[in-house]
Amino acid sequence: MLHILSLDDGLDIFKALGSEIRVEIVKLLLENKSMNMNELANKLNITNGALTSHIKKLESCGIVTTSNESAGHGNQKICSIHVDKILIELQPPEESENVYNTEVKVGHYSDYNVYPTCGLATPNVLIGEVDDPRYFAHPDRYNADILWFTKGYVEYLIPNFIPFSQKITQLTISAELSSEAPGVNDVWPSDISFYLNDVFIGSWTSPGDFGGNVKGIFTPDWWYPNWNQYGLLKLLVINRYGTFIDGLKISDVTINQFDLDYRSTIKLRLGVDENAEHVGGLTIFGKSFGNYSQDIQISINYAPMENETTGQKERD
């Protein structure tokens, strides 16, 4: 997902999509998952030189990605779509609020309860044996950059270092997620649930566990080709209006219900409930796996507390 914070920031994307040929390229890549340059040029009835110019514009703004693949007569450039959504913020965030940004590594969970198929790995090696939940307690799990399980959950403590005497007005969480199928399966729906401080705040249905012939951009070369390659970048927001995924409201649970401030413990749980309609597992990708070089990113908006005197919050 591309998250555009203002119309000005999106100018390059708007220009890239302001061409019928480039829109047709996007449609073809969505339909065929990936295509080489010769296939695209033939489909569009244009020269390879003209196609290269269009691909560069789409690639420069993050819509398309390219990679080289060895073929019988040399290397071929393979094109594929890099994003699943483009989210545009038409209204800028409130300037009166301050923001504390932090991140959590995939392996830095504080609690878990997972069921096979499951496993975790560092950027260089698997941790223990796959499909054995005991290894989720292994000391090396702090270095994990990918984890997966069929049902259950992992829970993270969100670092809360906002300034003294501030209340939390919004939480924004960004993570690359997918389902967990045996091997990979692009059509493998899974209802992924989100909990904040043990309160269910909503769910999102992942369409599949992606891979097959398309390798994750940042997935290391040693990784097995028939295992989880990449996910979708999801943006979870909880504010005074409710809870949202990629700008779409998924529940009426608001940030005000939690009464969070600078002293609060904040626990984020991601899981797949055993009574969900689609029990298709969960994969969480860190910066060394998938298509987005990032860990779990968190932004905390905050504002002054209303009833603060001499350093202590007034209580009724």
Domains and CATH numbers, the chain: 2-81 (1.10.10.10), 93-304 (2.60.120.260)
Alpha-carbon gap, residue 71 to 198, rounded angstroms: 52
Q: Give the type of residue at 300.
A: I
Query: Each residue of 137-175: pLDDT tens digit?
Result: 999 999 999 999 999 999 999 999 999 999 999 999 999
Query: Each residue of 204-238: pLDDT tens digit?
Result: 999 999 987 788 989 999 999 899 999 999 999 99
pLDDT at 141: 96
| Chain centroid to CA 31 | 22
Cβ atoms of 211 and 229 within 8 Å: the answer is: yes
The two tokens of residue 132 are: 């054995």
26-48 exposure pattern, b = at least 16 Cβ within 10 A, e = fewer: bebbeeeebbebeebbeeeeeee
Per-residue pLDDT band at 314 (split at 50, 70, 90): very low
Per-residue pLDDT band at 97 (split at 50, 70, 90): low
Nearest to 82 by CA among 25, 144, 20: 25
Largest CA distance in the chain: 78
Overall size of the chain counted in residues: 316
pLDDT at 1: 61
Strand blocks (E) in 187-286? 190-196, 199-206, 232-239, 242-245, 248-251, 267-272, 282-285
Q: Please, which residues have CB within 8 angstroms of residue 194's CB and are 6 or more apart in sequence?
A: 200, 201, 202, 203, 204, 236, 243, 268, 269, 270
Query: Each residue of 3-14: pLDDT tens digit?
Result: 676 777 778 888
The two tokens of residue 24 are: 């047709």
pLDDT at residue 191 is higher than 80: yes
Alpha-carbon gap, residue 213 to 228, rounded angstroms: 11
- Bigger pLDDT: 275 vs 2: 275
Residues 255-266, mean pLDDT to the nearest whole number: 98
pLDDT at residue 312 is higher than 70: no
Pairing of strands 190-196, 267-272: antiparallel
pTM of the model: 0.75
pLDDT at 161: 97
SS (H, E, C) 80-122: EECCCCEEECCCCCCCCCEEEEEEECCCCCCEEEEECCCEEEC
Alpha-carbon gap, residue 188 to 222, rounded angstroms: 25
pLDDT at 13: 86
